[in-house]
Amino acid sequence: MTETMDGIEGVENVDAAGDPDRSRTYSWNDPMASFAEGAGMSGLDYLQAMAEGRVPKPPISETLGFDGLGDVAEGRVVFTMTPAEHHYNPIGSVHGGVYATLLDSACGCAVQSLLPAGDFYTSLDLSVKFLRGMTKDTGQVQCIGTVTHMGRRTALAEARIVDANGKLYATATSTCMIFRAGDK
């Protein structure tokens, strides 16, 4: 949180009340360029390329400050995130929408990992169960998404958020609609 002011090392930026200046700046790549690059790949290949940094991650990852996409396998993905103040709601803990976005991402990408090139998905629903609050003191968490059923038109996936000790923070289930390349 300590930054420099006017190029003078060690001088902390402070607001009018004398509190440290809390600001966050980020950038992202053109999401349509990434989509176009991935359109010819299987879902698994696309996600692995993203995990390896060969394809830029989607803007939502930067917006919410996800640490990254780690393990990627058929029917399973792992996202990581380190809770921070910019994730907080008005009561001083990570906002439920951050949980939901992380869980939705893991469910959807787990489904995507099973799709051949040219097939796509979208989330139809997401049911989230919040089990405990996260704060900046929680440390890095993992969100593990797995596919429980893959059909021709729909897929079911589940995800869970756990900390480094395996403590469970939230779970979700999701139904995804599948769009097959040959369908009209």
Q: Are 76 and 145 in contact (CB under 8 A)?
A: yes
Ramachandran sector of residue 53 (left: φ over 0; alpha: ψ -120 to 50; beta: rest): left
Angle between helix axes 31-38 and 43-51 (nearest 10 degrees) is: 130
Measured CA to CA, the distance from residue 130 to residue 144 in angstroms comes to 15
pLDDT of residue 14: 61
Rg (CA), the chain: 19
The domains found in the chain, sorted by start residue, are 42-179 (3.10.129.10)
Measured CA to CA, the distance from residue 24 to residue 86 in angstroms comes to 8
Amino acid occupying residue 13: N
Model pLDDT for residues 57-96, shown as the tens digit of each residue:
999 999 999 999 999 999 999 999 999 999 999 999 999 9
Residue with tokens 């929680």: 138
Q: Which of 13-27, 44-58, 111-125 has the lowest mean pLDDT?
A: 13-27
Model pLDDT for residues 113-160, shown as the tens digit of each residue:
999 999 999 999 999 999 999 999 999 999 999 999 999 999 999 999
Residue 121 CA neighbour count, 13 Å, CB half: 30
Please give the torsion angle defined by the CA atoms of residues 98, 99, 100 and 104, in that order, rounded to the nearest 10 degrees: 100
CB count within 10 Å of CB 76 equals 17
Among candidate residues 86, 97, 81, 90, the one with its CA nearest the CA of residue 24: 86
